[in-house]
Amino acid sequence: MMGNQYIICGASRSGKSVLARRLQEKFKVSWILGDAIVSSMEDVFPDLGISQLGDLQEIGNRFADYIKFVLWHYAYAGCGYVLDTTHLYPRHIVNMREKIGNVPVVFLGYAQADPDEKFRQIRSFDPPNWWTSELSDTQLQQLIRGQISKSIELSEACAESGLPNVEVGRHFEESIDRAEAILNAK
């Protein structure tokens, strides 16, 4: 019997892990952290060119085939999972579905967010050891501007691909609830 399977993609600091943790606890599925896989590949196989640094789309191009087969093996074993990653784009999901089937997916972003408000939210939410807590204010502001641009790009690509995209820039909790409902509408 196949377990629950979900894919959550989107901008950094958009609530992917919040939603993944919720699904992992509710359905007792494995939580696959895309960042952990990418960091591990960077440390163990540096020649692959998969790392946390650089162009996320290029990293996604290198990462997508690997993760596609990991997810296929989870499904083959009948294991439930929730994949949480910023490295996959709509075109990767469309390609992956040829192998893994129509696994529910949702993209999260904050194209409509006020950058100053997003900055305040991140600074107030982040635990002391979280990766964004190590960024200077200027670095975090640059990250937010870049992720707003990525959110706009993802929203457009999702519309072209027919994949769901949830704007979390305003009314965060309600947006996460809506994303969960999309994933569970199998």
Q: What is the CATH number of the domain that holds 149?
A: 3.40.50.300
Q: State yes or no: pLDDT of 148 exceeds 80.
A: yes
Q: For 120-150, give one letter per residue: b (16+ CB within 10 A) or e.
A: ebbeeebeeeeebeebeeeebbebbeebbeb
Residue 89 phi/psi, 5-degree rounding, is -115, 165
Q: State yes or no: pLDDT of 179 exceeds 80.
A: yes
Q: Which of 62-71, 100-109, 161-170 has the lowest mean pLDDT?
A: 62-71
Per-residue pLDDT reduced to its tens digit, 122-131: 999 888 888 8
pLDDT band at 1 (very low <50, low <70, confident <90, very high): very low
Helix, coil or strand: residue 143: helix
The structural domain count of the chain equals 1
The Cα 17–Cα 3 span in angstroms is 20
The Cα 84–Cα 106 span in angstroms is 10
**Residue 127 domain boundaries:** 5-183
Per-residue pLDDT reduced to its tens digit, 39-64: 888 889 888 877 777 777 888 888 89
Residue type, 183: L
The Cα 84–Cα 14 span in angstroms is 11
User: What length is written for the chain?
Assistant: 186
Partners of residue 105 on adjacent β-strands: 7
Where do we find the tokens 């509408």?
185
Per-residue pLDDT reduced to its tens digit, 13-29: 999 999 999 999 999 99
